[in-house]
Structure 1
Amino acid sequence: MASDSAAASAASGEPVPARRLLLLIVPALAVGVVAALVLLGVSLLADQVQDVLWETLPDALSIGRYSSLWMIVMLTATGLVTGLTIRAVPGRAGPDPATTGLVDTPLAPGVVPGLLAVTVLSLAGGVSLGPENPITAANIALACWAGRRFAPGAPGEVWLALAAAGTVGALFGTPVAAALVLSETLASRPGPGALWDRLFGPLAAGAAGALTMTLTAHPSFDLALPDYTHSDWGDLLSACVIATAGAVLGLAAVYAFPYAHRAFRALRHPVLAMTAGGLLLGLLGALGGHLTLFKGLAEVKVLAADPGGWSAGEFAVMAVVKTAALLIAATCGFRGGRIFPAVFCGVALGLCAHALVDGVPVALAVTCAALGMLLAVTRQGWLSLFTAAVLASDTALLPLLCVATLPAWLLVTGRPQMQLHADGTPLR
């Protein structure tokens, strides 16, 4: 097929004529649209189940929707049911999530239904993880399976890149995020050929995924923070200190990651480990409040809408509790991503900094803390900078964010990552 030669040329790094790049557009657009629809379907289903679990059911039982008792019962039950589901589905819903990243090698297609099912359970049950890792894994598996079936001459790396870009574009509502993630991935796998030739297909897939999601669900990361109207030397110092504090909070979770994973593995039975993890998540929810549950995107907008609604101590508790919840959820066996809860941790920490020193602008504090937290958790520089920037949608903050990246990155680079090898040792 014509698209096979285009894909092969792009993957090999050889110069790719414009005609061959054009042949990538149709498969790229198709993959991007399907990736967005998978994300949208899982998100909508999870929302429906969440309404039943956290509104319909407690109302029918005359129990407070977010009472401490209900949070503990619901999270424990979510751990038990998710663990039993993982045990029953083909392929056990994929490998140990503590050993996987955002973009990994393709799973077998038969694993995908079970992976999506347990993702819905986690999202609906209040687990502090986002959809990004399992949805990306599912879309990569489906794209690679379809590529082998309909274009067997094309290298699998092309379909992996298209699916990853389509999913990231849909998650963030813009292909820019996809291009940034893939540029870092490609930079770690150097080869001949222009970078933009290699990004051409993924950028088309990311655009298709972003447009599909934007037209159907209108996602937005903008927290509607107060405008950043001025800058001075004090703000530069504040940006560096707050970003570094965010990185320290993230690194605390990173260093605890292998120990928490080892503790849950010591229970020897995945169902028992996930039930225990669910119980701990419920207890943390009771401590930090219901805003520390779920993936955190909707909840973080509640915090940002009222920066004066909580004290510095309350914001600090929420940041620490959410970080602990992310740590437990990611090590006990729940399937999910770490970007969205990390954003919540950073925003809560930034609001804490603003509450402590009200002279620090809210937008500056929130974006810099989120930047530092994301750098520690994801180790993706461009993605962290982009995510922090879109939280405020204010270009005046970009120079400060770029400068704040430097001390935070110096702190996290070379440190262990929030991902483990199969033997339980951390990646570096």
Structure 2
Amino acid sequence: MATETSAREAPLQVLLPQIMPALVVGVGSALLFLGISGIADQLEHLLWHTLPDALGIGRYSSLWIIAMLTATGIAVGLVVWKVYGHAGPDPAEGGLGGPPVPPGVVPGLLAASTLGLAGGVSLGPEYPTIAAAIALTFWAGKTLRPAVPGVFWVSLATAGTFGALFGTPVAAALVLSEALATRPSQSPQPPQPSQPSGVALWDRLFAPLLAAGAGAMTTQLFSHPSFDMGLPPLDDPGYEDLLAALVVATLAAVFGLLSGYAFPHVHRAFQRLRHPMLMLPLGGLVLGLLGALGGQLTLFKGLTETKELVQSIGSYDSGELAKLALVKSAALLVAASCGFVGGRVFPAVFIGASFGLLAQALVPEIHPTVAVASAVLGILLAHTRQGWVSLFVAAVIAASQPMVALLVLASLPAWLVVTGRPEMELDQHGNAVH
């Protein structure tokens, strides 16, 4: 009986001391995300509304778009060149998470990210926010509690930031479950001598989920984030909807793979310039030209623009939608290759929505929700290889419970297309990660 009692008490002795660090990290990660987003929004309003109005220039005229993105490239180039740490490692090598960077690198990393977000660069806030949260949490954790394994602090920061970014801890749970399934030896829970050798999954996820929940609640209190695009509900899907989901998701995955194949070549071309004050201003100029071609919707991280696009179903013909998908894909490819700091998830959502509406414009019988959600799923699978996150984002965009079964089935042929093929991420030698 004593042995059974100690076995039951041991997890409590491990988990209870994790509650306060998890809450602090979750709230801190959310405040970091909200701070970066708030500053970027204020700066964006100044650059794209106040300043052009004062100068009597059209806010999104071709001239202003080219000038602003080139100027953004110069500003970010100066940060990468002169600020300590050079805004962190090459963003082309960064995924969702990763090893901690030194805390002294964080100011430059956040400055480069904020300037890019405000200046209209086609990258999202997820990569720099997660990287900064991991760096600060790892440094504080190892300073205050050096005996705790570093992977514990990394998992808390990753989960807390995911919860803050999406406004729900579900995405963090899915990411961590996937990570534990692929790397079971890297448990986020610090090992204890009294702990049984077999650790339950929910014991491993206890502290990270608490951090994710705290991050999500903090964001909800201050920001009310939403991925609901206002798509028409799909109440009673049929076999034709399933067929459409399978085809659209697979075709979108093929389209998304084109960026993965092109990524190392475009990155290598910019790297030949060697200096950030050449790579980033040139990249900004190219982004400005692409923005002038694609228009306002192809600028910025893409979430607000996706809502605007989806709420205008029927307003764009197939040629215009194809142009939006191609221009945004090219802009994401250039931005990620030339040194701008940011993530790929939010722009990929816009690309997926454009591709899905293109499919629906070409085949009007496809339900808009099926087209958009399935295409977002395929593009995200191709760009991130994060199966659970891709399903989660697509399901939230669909905002329709019957769509979940369709999306799960549609993910399978799309996964067969993308698995083992180049991702939108490079290794330290500049080669595509597979």
Indicate conservation of the 8 Å contact 2:138/2:154, yes or no. Answer: yes
CA shift, 1:135, in A, is: 0.4
Specify which of 138, 141, 145 is matched with residue 147 of structure 1: 141
CA shift, 1:197, in A, is: 1.2
User: 1:126-275 residue pairs with structure 2 within 5 A?
Assistant: 126-191=120-185, 193-275=199-281
TM-score when scaled to structure 2? 0.94
Specify which of 356, 370, 373 is matched with residue 367 of structure 1: 373
User: 1:336-415 residue pairs with structure 2 within 5 A?
Assistant: 336-415=342-421
Cα distance in 2 for residues equivalent to 1:320 and 1:22: 50
Q: Alignment partner of 2:422: what SS?
A: coil
Cα distance in 2 for residues equivalent to 1:304 and 1:185: 32
Indicate conservation of the 8 Å contact 1:101/1:419, yes or no. Answer: yes
* CA RMSD after TM alignment: 1.2
CA shift, 1:193, in A, is: 2.1
The amino acid across from 2:216 in the alignment is A
The amino acid across from 2:59 in the alignment is R
Indicate conservation of the 8 Å contact 1:169/1:209, yes or no. Answer: yes
Indicate conservation of the 8 Å contact 1:16/1:197, yes or no. Answer: no
CA shift, 1:401, in A, is: 0.4
CA shift, 1:16, in A, is: 5.5
Is 1:89 equivalent to 2:91 in the alignment?
no
Partner residue, 1:76: 70
Write out per-residue CA displacement over residues 202-260 of structure 1, whole angstroms, 9 at most, x where no aligned residue.
10000000000011100000101101132221111110110011101110001000000
Write out per-residue CA displacement over residues 133-192 of structure 1, whole angstroms, 9 at most, x where no aligned residue.
000000000101110111111110000000000000000000000011111112221235
Q: Alignment partner of 1:423: what SS?
A: coil
Q: Alignment partner of 1:230: what SS?
A: coil
Partner residue, 1:37: 31
Partner residue, 1:279: 285
Cα distance in 2 for residues equivalent to 1:418 and 1:234: 32
Gaps of 5+ in 2: 1-8, 186-197
TM-score when scaled to structure 1? 0.95
Specify which of 291, 313, 323 is matched with residue 317 of structure 1: 323
Cα distance in 1 for residues equivalent to 2:131 and 2:66: 30
Indicate conservation of the 8 Å contact 2:235/2:400, yes or no. Answer: no
Q: Which moved more, 1:268-277 or 1:172-181?
A: 268-277
Partner residue, 1:106: 100
Indicate conservation of the 8 Å contact 2:80/2:86, yes or no. Answer: yes
Indicate conservation of the 8 Å contact 1:125/1:294, yes or no. Answer: yes
**Share of identical aligned residues, percent?**
60
Cα distance in 1 for residues equivalent to 2:105 and 2:433: 25
Cα distance in 1 for residues equivalent to 2:179 and 2:51: 44
Cα distance in 1 for residues equivalent to 2:237 and 2:104: 54
Indicate conservation of the 8 Å contact 1:371/1:388, yes or no. Answer: yes
Indicate conservation of the 8 Å contact 1:376/1:412, yes or no. Answer: yes
The amino acid across from 2:200 in the alignment is A
Partner residue, 1:9: none
Partner residue, 1:288: 294
The amino acid across from 1:189 in the alignment is R
Q: Which moved more, 1:369-378 or 1:148-157?
A: 148-157
Partner residue, 2:188: none
